[in-house]
Amino acid sequence: MLYWLGVVAFALAILISVSLHEFGHMLTAKGFGMKVSRYFVGFGPTIFSFQRGETEYGLKAIPLGGFCKIVGMTPQDDDVAPEDQPRAMWRFPVWKRTIVMSAGSITHFLLAGVAAYFAAISIGLPNTAYPQTDEATLAQKPVITITECTWVNLPTTQQDCVPGQNGAIAGPAYAAGLRDGDLVTQVGTTPISNYGQLTQAIRALPAGVVPFTYERNGTTATAQVTLVAAQRAPVADSSGATTTVSVAGLGWDQRSVPTMIEYGPVEAVGATGSYGWFLVERTFEAMKRIPDKVPALWHSITGSERDPETPISVVGASRLGGEAIANGVPELFLNIFISLNVFIGIFNLLPLLPLDGGHIAIAWYERVRSWLYARFKKPDPGRVDYYKLMPVTYAVILIGGAFTLLTVTADIINPITIFK
């Protein structure tokens, strides 16, 4: 039951965010004096509608988005009444049209930002330095978590680690003054920028005093850490035999770095910005990988195991939202919502018709072209003929529709799941 409530709640949250996207277009268009004739949530047959001023508002039967009709978006629109011609959108300055067309994406970014700030001060934001996979561990910033006690000799039975008892000592890092959340930047004379380098530097050192340079709350300091020779878990050599290795012990555990970090009301502002930029970078990386993931999506439909790195649709995102609620992980629900809004906002600004970014690109192309013609004292070539761009527009719609159908099918037949 909780699962389906989560699915419905997430789908509703996305529907609301898309409706607010269209509301952003409408609000800015009306603010500049453009005429907005219709604002509807959903598509298909109309369930109900009402007139307020010059705009018709309503709800349609298929809850897959929404739209607002701004009169005269292009010079080729042939449904503009003579009395509305002065208020046609294409007649307004390019900067005003840019604001109107980008208002939808800005709304998504604002929703993501508000949700991220709320998460930061309540349930926490994901620690982007936390290792997600073995490979990723080596690339993450070396933000450490300190253990106050460590073993010089591994015990043969399960027991508590108490300094001074059964081969246990106080953690060298803790004793030297290092604390949870410190960012190690140098070990001895070796610069450190990630977990892999930190681990290698420590393992290459003998027991003894080594200076550790670290950052804490924006301040750089150095701690003199006394590394000790400590046994670690058995490892297998090339012949298959196992031996207990002895390495310089520091008394830290990168696996215990917190996955979520809560912030105060002031700190949360910066944390929200950092997390937002992290998602922006990840979104562009994901977009670049989309063509490579299409074969994997197809294979997941035809019987292969679903690659968890393949794109998902709103259907898949809603299912993950349902899993998050069913398993008592509301932070996952919220983070998926935040990530999806960032993705939609960026994707919608791509310079392709019929996306908003396509309209923005054409508006600025016209402006730059007119400026150049004026510089060379040539007559203004006028507006771009949208009809000539229809083949490209149809191609984008066809490819986008096919990709959407592919991801929705994969999310129904072979969905990505987080909780097995």
Q: Catalogue the active-site residues.
A: 22
**What distance in Å separates the CA atoms of residue 392 and residue 136, rounded to the nearest whole number?**
39
157 burial class (0-12, 13-18, 19+ CB within 10 angstroms)? Answer: exposed
Helix (H) / strand (E) element for 336: namely: helix 330-347
The three-class DSSP label of residue 188 is: coil
C-alpha angle 256-325-130 in degrees, rounded to nearest 5: 20
Closest C-alpha among 271, 181, 275 to residue 219: 181
Which two three-digit tokens encode residue 20?
């607010």
DSSP β-ladder status, 219-236 and 242-249: antiparallel
CB 242 within 8 A of CB 234: yes
**What distance in Å separates the CA atoms of residue 104 and residue 117, rounded to the nearest whole number?**
20
**What distance in Å separates the CA atoms of residue 163 and residue 361, rounded to the nearest whole number?**
66
Length of the chain: 420
Closest C-alpha among 99, 72, 96 to residue 85: 72
CB 315 within 8 A of CB 336: no
Q: CB count, 10 Å around CB of 355?
A: 20
Helix (H) / strand (E) element for 58: namely: strand 55-70
Residue 63, CA atoms < 13 Å, CB-side half-sphere? 11
Q: What is the DSSP letter of 41?
A: E
Ranges assigned E (strand) in 219-331? 219-236, 242-249, 260-261
C-alpha angle 168-169-170 in degrees, rounded to nearest 5: 135
User: Does residue 211 have a cis peptide bond before it, meaning omega lies within 30 degrees of 0?
Assistant: no
